[in-house]
């Protein structure tokens, strides 16, 4: 499992996943805003990539979209200006793999990073401070685990995970987790839903400590009709 840095890199093969649009949303680091990475497969085979910032600090943000996390050679530069605490940029990118991420920074204090890896029976979500892995061993069965980094040693945390299928959902949660060595390990949980899907339509992980620090990462997918 990994969390994203400015130059995150993990080797991955191109995989065929029957998803038209995926959206991942997570909190920024050092800024109260959120970043959204939305990817839509086009009929041409290219991918429309939309990167959104909500509630972020105004001014210039620079970074890149990585269509393959195993290499920076194909990164697409992003240079946007947030106005009224919002930014948006749209790209059309060829040869996008199943492992992508977007990172934007503003100076040395603020960073927004989000990424996702899609495999036939596994979904991984990651940001600069939180990650969630969901593995689908059988239709309707989902095993999740996660991690939070950059926490204060000894701080106490609670968590909640949720998974949504077409007509049902499942969730888990607990409190009493303790930050050790700068990280919180989200325990392995197994959820079940009475459906035939091996990949859920939505996933989320929300963690919070006793002093108001909240970390969130959420994923939603839409599949072709018929």
Across 87-96, average pLDDT? 94
Quote the pTM value. Answer: 0.84
- Identify the band that residue 5 occupies on the pLDDT scale cut at 50, 70 and 90: very low
More confident residue, 15 or 158: 158
Whether the predicted pLDDT of 13 surpasses 50: no
Whether the predicted pLDDT of 70 surpasses 90: no
Q: What's the pLDDT at 10?
A: 27
Query: How many Å apart are CA 226 and CA 221, to the nearest integer?
Result: 16
Q: What's the pLDDT at 224?
A: 58
- Identify the band that residue 206 occupies on the pLDDT scale cut at 50, 70 and 90: very high
The alpha-helical segments, DSSP class H, found in the chain are none
The residue ranges of DSSP E strands in the chain, in sequence order, are 21-27, 34-41, 47-54, 59-66, 76-82, 86-93, 99-106, 110-119, 122-127, 130-138, 141-149, 156-164, 169-178, 183-192, 202-209, 214-222
Whether the predicted pLDDT of 1 surpasses 80: no
Across 107-126, average pLDDT? 90
Query: How many Å apart are CA 28 and CA 150, to the nearest integer?
Result: 13
Whether the predicted pLDDT of 9 surpasses 60: no
Across 166-190, average pLDDT? 87
Q: What is the pLDDT of residues 18-64, one digit of tens each?
A: 458 999 999 998 778 999 999 999 988 899 999 999 999 999 999 99
Residues 6+ away with beta carbon under 8 Å from 138: 198
Q: What is the pLDDT of residues 144-157, one digit of tens each?
A: 899 999 999 999 99
């Amino acid at each position: 499992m990994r969390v994203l840095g400015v130059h995150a890199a993990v080797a991955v093969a191109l995989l065929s996943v029957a998803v038209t649009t995926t959206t991942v949303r997570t909190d920024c680091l050092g800024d109260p805003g959120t970043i959204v990475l939305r990817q839509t497969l086009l009929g041409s085979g290219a991918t429309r990539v939309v990167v959104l910032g909500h509630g972020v600090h105004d001014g210039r943000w620079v970074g890149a979209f990585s269509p393959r996390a195993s290499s920076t050679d194909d990164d697409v530069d992003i240079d946007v200006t947030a106005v009224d605490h919002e930014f948006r940029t749209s790209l059309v990118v060829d040869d996008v793999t199943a492992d992508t991420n977007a990172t934007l920074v503003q100076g040395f204090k603020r960073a927004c990073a989000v990424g996702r890896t899609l495999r036939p029976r596994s979904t991984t979500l990651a940001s600069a401070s939180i990650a969630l892995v969901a593995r689908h061993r059988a239709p309707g069965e989902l095993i999740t685990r996660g991690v939070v980094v950059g926490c204060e040693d000894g701080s106490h945390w609670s968590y909640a995970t949720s998974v949504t299928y077409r007509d049902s959902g499942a969730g888990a949660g607990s409190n009493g987790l303790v930050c050790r060595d700068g990280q919180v390990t989200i325990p392995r949980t197994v959820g079940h839903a009475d459906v035939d899907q091996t990949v859920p339509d939505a996933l989320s992980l929300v963690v919070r400590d006793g002093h108001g620090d909240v970390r969130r990462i959420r994923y939603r997918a839409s599949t072709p009709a018929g």
